Structure 1
Amino acid sequence: MMNKYIKSGTLIAAIAVLFLSIAMKPKPKKVIFFGDSITQQGMRANGYISLLKKKVDSTKFELIGAGIGGNKVYDLYLRMEDDVLNKKPDLVFIYVGINDVWHKLGAKTGTDYDKYLKFYQALINKIQAKGSKVVLCTPSVIGEKKNGTNEIDGDLDKYAAGIRDLATKNNLPLCDLRKAFIDYEAANNTEDKDRGILTTDKVHLNEAGNKFVAEQMLPFIK
């Protein structure tokens, strides 16, 4: 009878230890990538978010894509509650701006510079107010020719400079994709092509582009 109680007590103790270890096990830190179609495509098999998932410890980090094609900065603001804040992330990458500049061509539905920065600052304020950390990303390229020779490089440089200023003003880390892409193109785009080096269509990332973006973002996660 005594052995029976001892065995029973040992089993209960083992179960208690198991539940305690599960309860004490730290939850993985939640990282959200908030953006447009570049981010949406980042969740594909060879997309930059999928590549990052292979580079980090899945027990320590949960990476979530929150990109929607065609989005501009105010679209992110309108869906921020559902797609970011309600998920209670530890870290948020804000990567938006290509459409705000690119859509000034053709459709003429881009975002004015002043409005772009105001909405961007509002994103920062609301995300930080919930206790999440933020990484700002400058918009990369709209055309891969030497800097200054693509159709709207001037605007893109201006908007990227605005993001750098916001990073300084808010004392936030900056993933300067604009500069990284320009430097890479200068070194690797010897034929001065407008696409095919890091992008498929001047904007969206090819395999090399996804690897490159993943490399730029990885240090901010680790």
Structure 2
Amino acid sequence: MTISLNGSAVVLFQGDSITDVGRDPDNPLGRGYVRTAADLVRSARPDDGITFLNRGVAGDRVSDLRARWREDATDLEPDVVSVLIGVNDTWRRYDSGEVSPAQAFEDDYRAVLTQVRERQDTQLILIEPFLIPVREEQWAWREDLDPRIQAVRRLAEEFDAVLLAADGLLNQAARAAGGAEHIAGDGVHPTPLGHELLAEAWVALAGL
């Protein structure tokens, strides 16, 4: 399954720091996979007027995404919404003791997708949260993260969304590159190579 980008489409990227990557007024698309994906699409279709928006916020969990969803998503009337969220819901359990139940995660995620579909006919891309363990203790995080990945897969089916299976993609890339640190230095935040691979996978879903 792929998405269809018409020449005047508005494409919105939503998520946490992996999407944010230091975006600011001088660089509104950030410095990660969003910027690279937009550049690849513009290079392939230079005559189109596709608009790319990045509203990722570092540190966000899915409940934070839901809290700002109208202002940062539906009010923008996007034609395509791409969402990458979930690893902070897991991370906070292990660094702060803040547990986010998998069912609550799925319920909040479903709520934001429902809001999109109720207000406009929007195409959806759901990117799995991912973890490429670089420390031994991070392997234990899989117990918490894997149910969230399964939830995203269920939601992709439920909402007829395009699914980017990023967890398997990036873990396999780590093996090919010779170690997790080549793809995500801390196991969570992609390196430039990790962002490039994510962007290329995203663009492939646009049929380019």
Q: Which TM bucket (shorter chain)?
A: 0.7 to 0.9
2:20 aligned to which of 15, 36, 40: 40
1:83 to 72, 76, 79: 72
- Aligned partner of 2:157 in structure 1 is 168
Unmatched segments (≥5 aa) in structure 2: 1-5, 23-28
Shift in Å at residue 82 of structure 1?
0.6
Per-residue CA distance 1:169-191 (angstroms, 9 max, x = gap)? 222211111121122223333xx
Query: In structure 2, what is the equivalent of residue 52 of structure 1?
Result: 37
Query: 1:138 — aligned with what?
Result: 128
1:3-82 to 2 correspondences below 5 Å: 28-41=8-21, 43-45=29-31, 47-57=32-42, 59-82=48-71
Give the corresponding residue for 1:112: 101
Per the normalisation by structure 1, the TM-score is 0.78
Q: Which of 125, 144, 156 does residue 145 from structure 2 map onto?
A: 156
| 1:81 maps to amino acid | R
> What is the TM-score with the length of structure 2 in the denominator?
0.83
3-state SS of paired residue (1:105) = helix
| Kept in 1: contact 2:12–2:53 (CA 8 A) | yes
| Structure with bigger RCO (C-alpha 8 Å, 6+ apart) | 2
Query: For residue 127 of structure 2, what is the amino acid of its counterpart?
Result: C
1:177 corresponds to: 166
Question: Contact between 2:11 and 2:78, CA under 8 Å: does it hold in 1?
Answer: yes
Gaps of 5+ in 1: 1-25
Deviation at 1:62, TM superposition (A): 1.2
Once the two structures are superposed, residues 7-42 of structure 1 have per-residue CA deviations (whole angstroms, 9 ceiling, x without a partner) of xxxxxxxxxxxxxxxxxxx86211111100111007
Distance 1:166 1:106, change over 3 A: same
In 2, distance between residues paired with 1:181 and 1:145? 16
**Distance in structure 2 (CA, Å) of the matches to 1:179 and 1:64:** 26
Mapped contact 1:142–1:153 kept (Cα < 8 A): no
Q: CA deviation at 1:145?
A: 7.0
User: Residue deviations 1:188-222, cap 9 Å, x none?
Assistant: 33xxx5x5211122211111011011011112334
1:171 match: secondary structure? coil
Cα deviation digits, residues 65-88 of structure 1 (max 9, x gap): 111111000111110111111111
Q: Which runs of 4+ in 1 moved over 6 A?
A: none
Which residue matches 1:123? Answer: 112
Q: Distance in 1 between matches of 2:109 and 2:174?
A: 27
Partner residue of 2:202?
217
